[in-house]
Structure 1
Amino acid sequence: MPKLIKNGRLVDDSAEILVLDESQAPEALSLPAGPVFVPMAVWQAHKSAFSGRSDVGVWLDSHDNVEDLAPDLEDLSAVALNFPKFTDGRAYSAAALLRSRYGFKGEIRAIGDVLRDQFFFMQRCGFDAIQPKTGKYSDAQLEESLASLKDFSAPYQAAVDQPEPLFRRAQRAT
């Protein structure tokens, strides 16, 4: 069973991430039972069928617009954002938009080509679950990487997890 980091802990995850190939039409797709993340196109095609299913989340690729999902956010408990390669940072912005502009309170999961060096910054942008590709890291390496979530005790910059910069939070002697 794949592992992921969720809310600062290493947990087992049974959710399937459904990926379509070019020959599959989203409208004709039959959905698996159990927890699943579906692509945006599948969500849009089957929205009414997902009504009441708390085990269905949507995953957005880096070229998908968060704004297109905004009207449906209250019906979702989880959104996954794909990093197709580690140099593509558009999912950072999408996570920040989900949290700050749209007030999404559910799980935001990083999927795809996520690297240990990025875990702390993902957390700052609003991700609360990080799922590296299967086989990328051993369980021991993931356990060790939990420490990287606490690399900095007091970040200087404002972000989703700390809306005020350090100079506004610091108490200064008068």
Structure 2
Amino acid sequence: MQIIKDKAITEDTFTTLADDAELTGGDISVSLARWKRDRESLLAHPGKVGVRLQASDAAADLAEDLKHIDLIELDFAEFADGRLFSHAWLLRGRYHYQGEIRATGHYLMDQIFYLSRVGVNAFKPAKAEQLATILANLDDFSVKYQPSIV
């Protein structure tokens, strides 16, 4: 599947693994719970490793390990919960995370510009037809009144 990363369409190389799935080769993404449980084996994984955060997770739980994590996925379970915006800001602003922060799940197209302002630099669309809309929404506004994290 294609994603938007750094304002360009690119292929998604990550495979999402369930908490009970066997580790596979290549680039993988696991839940925060699995990261905590299988940290040592994931650190030895030959491919890239990503961690999925839910709104109820704490970004601080990853602070010491961010140098080992290539991707943080912010999984929007519902569009009415803004805690993942705070997670992105904390990852970039407080913990100085330089890797990919990707929005997945049920984020709204109207939120894309604002997500990019708090540090999200990649977007996984629900449907391939949304790629052009996501790209366009990254440039929704030409004037910005508040500073951003990026």
Post-superposition Cα deviations, 1:136-167, rounded to whole Å, max 9, x if no partner, equal x51xx412431211111221012212xxxxxx
What is the rounded CA distance, in whole Å, between the counterparts of 1:147 and 1:45 in structure 2?
Answer: 39
Secondary structure of 1:5 counterpart: strand
Secondary structure of 2:4 counterpart: strand
Larger Rg: 1
Secondary structure of 2:124 counterpart: strand
What is the rounded CA distance, in whole Å, between the counterparts of 1:86 and 1:47 in structure 2?
Answer: 30
Query: TM-score, normalised on structure 1?
Result: 0.79
Q: 2:23 aligns with which of 23, 31, 39?
A: 31
1:8: which partner in 2?
Answer: 7
C-alpha contact 1:116 1:145 (8 A) present in aligned 2:
yes
| Deviation of 1:52 (Å) | 4.7
Provide structure 2 residue ranges, at least 5 long, that are not aligned to the other structure: none
What is the rounded CA distance, in whole Å, between the counterparts of 1:93 and 1:50 in structure 2?
Answer: 26
Runs of 4+ in structure 1 over 3 Å off: none
Q: Which sits farther off after the overlay, 113-122 or 92-101?
A: 113-122
Post-superposition Cα deviations, 1:65-123, rounded to whole Å, max 9, x if no partner, equal 11111111111121111110111111100000000000101111111112221111110
Q: Does 1:109 align with 2:97?
A: no
Query: TM-score, normalised on structure 2?
Result: 0.91
1:49: which partner in 2?
Answer: 41
Map 1:118-133 onto structure 2 (within 5 A). Answer: 118-133=111-126
What is the rounded CA distance, in whole Å, between the counterparts of 1:144 and 1:72 in structure 2?
Answer: 34
Q: Does 1:79 align with 2:72?
A: yes
Q: 2:51 aligns with which of 33, 52, 58?
A: 58
C-alpha contact 1:109 1:130 (8 A) present in aligned 2:
yes
Give the number of aligned pairs: 149
Secondary structure of 2:138 counterpart: helix
C-alpha contact 1:95 1:108 (8 A) present in aligned 2:
yes
What is the rounded CA distance, in whole Å, between the counterparts of 1:19 and 1:84 in structure 2?
Answer: 16
